[in-house]
Chains A and B, each alone.
Chain A
Amino acid sequence: MSENKTLVEVQHLQQYFPAGGVGKNRKYVQAVDDVSFAIRKGETLGLVGESGCGKTTTGRTLLRLYEPTGGKIYYDGNLLFDKENKIAVDMLPYRRRMQIVFQDPYASLDPRMTIGDIVGEGIDIHHLAENEKDRHDKIIALLERVGLNSEHANRYCHEFSGGQRQRVGIARALAVNPEFIVCDEPVSALDVSIQAQVVNMFEDLQQEMGLTYLFIAHDLSVVKHISNRIGVMYLGKMVELADSFELIAHSIHPYTRSLISAIPVADPVIARQSKRIVLQGDVPSPLNPPSGCRFRTRCPYADEQCANEVPEFKEVSSGHWAACHHLDRVK
């Protein structure tokens, strides 16, 4: 199962996207701001939040699909990126070890390529096959592992359903034998009955291949199901991080509390009884986030201190981190 060795670590990761303006008036979308976490080998860290919270950007920045604008990234003890000391390592060898599965099964596959070629691209780039036959065998093996069959290799994506295409995306990521996979909302675009199939497949693959996951999603139920620990993000910042069961049962940050209570439960009796904490107002713009604590504009416990000081993300109890000035007030 999970060993204690840290596989992936980010420290004070920052990703600001330029959004117009010149010189002093340069505006930035503060997509990810000062996010730090570590993922142990064999573990699944879930990352949840609503749209605009920066979870997808975090996953992609970690893989350096976008170059970070600040912070450090470590993989298996190796420093991959350090903004301050101007270190940016060539990613090609790491592309074999760190992979990604995308959300949209329609957009993430090249419509002009056959399924076989899509899955085989990683093999081609990293020269993982000795000859044509070896390549073909590897591709068939990958397709079968994700539940498709060999005759599908010569077909094109538009002939398949969303769930099947997502399996192709997974096979593509597995083709290079990675150790770590960023799962970027991999089931959000699928029908409910297919979601369960794909989630189970992720779990099985993790068991068989000893994979480590960063599982990004907005559906907390799915994330809780598959993750060992969960990080909650709001407007570019991480507000709480804890063990999955602990987070659901004993969350301490006001945003996490309202997020959990807002989720509609598929159980009529419970649904009728539960009191929802309904947050007022809308999510502020990441172009101009609130000063101090970014959640304060919707938080029922906010006060002046929240406007002036950014709350520190610190360990409140063993393994349970949160960023809030007034944890004692939260009921």
Chain B
Amino acid sequence: MENIKKNPLSMQLNAEDFLPASNEEKQSLVVMRESVNFWKDGLRRLRKNKIAMVSFVFIIAIAIFAYLLPAVWPYSYSEQMKGSNNLAPFEYSASEQARIDAGEKVFPHILGTDRMGRDFAVRIMMGTRVSLSVGLIASVLVLIIGATYGAISAFAGGWVDNIMMRITDILYTIPDILLIILLGMALKDPLDKLSTQPGFKWMQTLGPNMISIFIIFALLYWVGMARIVRSQILILKESEYVTAARALGASSGRIIKKHLLTNCIGTLIVTTTLQIPASIFTESYLSFIGLGVAAPLPSLGSLATDAVKGMNTYPHLLIAPALMISVMILVFNLFGDGLRDAFDPKLKN
């Protein structure tokens, strides 16, 4: 036993080491990890996803392109310049050339001009603005109507749920284009009369077709969202914390609001984000077949329609809007995917 102290290689112990440790000394070893909540955690994962981040940058760029750039652009989207019809990109018309020679600075037509002599670049910008706005508003409409419908259906359960879902099944089968055309025709006269009233002038700009598109979205396209929300809520409804809330005396409204929908938010955001490119595409093809916004307001789809006729001679008039539509849809889809990966609770480890 004496060797304990004498052997230089053994641990050097002394009597103080064997005194009892105080509570503070013990507590100092117990450290709680940093607090992380759901959003921070998700955002952290989103930031790591390079594709999603690049897509996000593109989305911001597109937004600037569509909403901010036209304000500083020297040309307006409806301004028809005589003699400047069908200019190629960076080409100048005769009168413009004359002005340049006279020493004036004339901003080049980066994408040329269209049939009517309107600067094409700014028309693309406006077209993007219209398509994007329609896409966003329509998606929000779909979110509000679909989520509410799906939540109520799932929460009510039983025969109420059954009936509500059969209604959505029927709505799903209705041919949308037919309905849009019919509605467009039916609404034309009443809307025209309404748009002459004060406060409704904006309806003239949009046109009856655009209004009917929004109405159709509100009537038909929320079905997918309703189904997704319903399935989420059906699962969450059985959670033990919902039972706990009932045991506390929570009303159904409180449970839906505070427990069910909040736990769906990840899914809601992701589904809405993925709905945007779908809405953009729908609006584009509707405008392409002539059921979209009224002239002179451009939409990417209607720009494409106009350009189809002169496809061989002025290909840039078709390529530009088509490319824009494709890029918008792509980046929103990629970003939506990134959001889903970041916020999907099942993928959390």
Contacts and interface: CB of A to CB of B under 8 A. Distances in A.
A107 B35 contact: no
B240 A104 contact: yes
Contact of A121 (B32, B36, B37, B250): B250
Interface string B37-48: 110000000000
Nearest to A155: B35
A104 B248 CA distance: 17
Interface string A52-88: 0000000010010100000000000000000000000
B257 interface: no
A96 B247 contact: no
Interface string B239-276: 11101111111110010001100110000000000000
Contact of A92 (B37, B38, B249, B263): B249
Contacts of B245: 110, 121
Given A102-B243, A107-B239, 14 more contacts: A65-B246, A91-B249, A95-B247, A95-B248, A99-B247, A100-B244, A102-B240, A109-B244, A111-B263, A121-B248, A156-B38, A159-B32, A169-B244, A172-B248
Interface of A: 60, 63, 65, 91-92, 95-96, 99-100, 102, 104, 107-113, 121-122, 125-126, 154-156, 159, 169, 172, 176
B26 interface: no
B250 A125 contact: yes
A112 B343 CA distance: 13
6 contacts: A100-B244, A112-B263, A125-B248, A155-B35, A159-B32, A159-B35
B241 A125 contact: no
Contacts of A172: 244, 248
B249 A108 contact: no
Contacts of A112: 38, 262-263
Nearest to B244: A108
Given A104-B240, A108-B240, A109-B241, A65 B259 contact: no
Contacts of B249: 91-92, 95-96, 122, 125-126
B345 to A, nearest CB: 8
Contact of A63 (B37, B247, B259): B247
Question: For chain A, what secondary structure do more than half of its interface residues adopt (helix, strand, loop), or is it mixed?
Answer: loop
B263 A110 contact: yes
Nearest to B239: A107
B193 interface: no
A6 B259 CA distance: 36
A102 B263 contact: no
A177 to B, nearest CB: 12
Nearest to A176: B248
A63 B239 CA distance: 17
Contacts of A125: 248-251, 254
Contacts of B263: 110-112
A102 B35 contact: no
B33 interface: yes
Nearest to B263: A112
A65 B243 contact: yes
A22 to B, nearest CB: 15
B241 A107 contact: yes
A99 B249 CA distance: 10
Contacts of A108: 240-241, 243-244
Nearest to B39: A112
Contact of A110 (B32, B33, B241): B241
The 7 closest A-B pairs by CB, nearest first: A95-B249, A107-B240, A108-B240, A110-B241, A122-B248, A100-B247, A112-B262
Contacts of A63: 247
Nearest to B32: A159
Contacts of A113: 258
Contacts of B262: 110, 112
A143 to B, nearest CB: 15
A33 B191 CA distance: 66
A156 B35 contact: yes
Contacts of B243: 60, 65, 102, 108
